[in-house]
Amino acid sequence: MDRTYTISQESFLSRIHRGIARKVPWYVWWLLPGLILLGVVTMPPFIWIIWMTFRKIFLSPTRPDIYVGVANYIQYFTDPEVYAAWGKMGKYVGGSIALQMGLGIGIAMLLNKSKHEDVLMAIYLVPLMFASVVTAYLYRVLLHSSYGLYHWLLVTFGIFSHRSPSLFGNPDTALWTMVMIDTWQWTPLVILIVLAGLKTVPRSIVEAARIDGAGKWRVFRDVIIPFTSPAILIALLLRFMDNVRFVDVILNTTMGGPADATKTISVYTYYLAFRQFDLGYGATVGFLLLLVVIFAALILTNVFRKYITAEG
């Protein structure tokens, strides 16, 4: 009786296992350990941050934290510094992405036809080898108003006077200087990704389009873009997410100044949490920033998916 029950139980369990194995794709089993590890590592801090948004945190063993409900969220939507920081973030992200994607796609198109593609690509990748902190200190030296090479060139060509502050010291130019630094360092990544996408474009289709009378713009719009759109989407998402959390170069050059000209929402979050030690409100600003990034990434993904479907 026991032996019959054991065999029946094993048979029942094996049928369940085989049924699950047939319904679940094979690649899910390969991804499952990594997903579990990712969840174990990331979910506790994520839950902790959400918990902090409802509290006033005191870094004192004798003063307990206070539950404040949605007070931090109310403060967020009534804080004028938040709106100012988002405005600076919008200028920075928009300028950086426009320059990097435009230059990256254009240079990748030129490199794809070049006989010296390997050498030129190796040269273009040099800025990526620098850590962001190193890049920040490099430009602090190059743009210094007393001994900076770039500042001296601007004075020599009459763009600046000898008494002019550096590009970092002028509220009108500081944010756009950050855009140029980020473009210099990260455009090579866009070039690399888009160039990889260009390698997937079949030459036969391009030649057929040209034989049919399509000009360069039609070939670019109707052939190259549809084939490279996944690579362009990846580059766009990576640069968007990196730009939104961009703080290291700013903190090592202007510290959010001058006159808060470079205090983006990410820098404002840093100041709240690690300078003013208002961890509850800082966690709220950071959490809402994360939600904006997630929703923006979903929107970009859906737009490109619809575009690819329409072109297909």
Which residues pair with residue 150 across a beta bridge? none
| Cα(230)–Cα(198) distance, integer angstroms | 11
pLDDT tens-digit profile, the chain (312 residues):
455 444 455 555 565 555 555 666 767 778 888 889 988 898 898 899 999 999 998 887 788 888 898 999 999 999 999 999 999 999 999 999 999 999 999 999 889 888 888 888 889 899 989 988 999 999 999 998 888 888 889 888 888 887 888 889 889 999 999 999 999 999 999 999 999 888 888 888 877 878 777 777 888 887 888 888 888 888 998 898 888 888 889 999 999 889 899 999 999 999 998 898 899 999 999 999 999 988 888 888 887 777 666 655
C-alpha distances (whole Å) from 31 to each of 27, 37, 66, 233 are 6, 10, 41, 23
Which residues pair with residue 67 across a beta bridge? 55
Long-range contacts of 117-123 (CB under 8 A, 24+ apart): 121/191, 121/192, 121/195
What is the value of pTM for the model shown? 0.83
Residues 6+ apart with CB under 8 A from 89: 244, 264, 265, 266
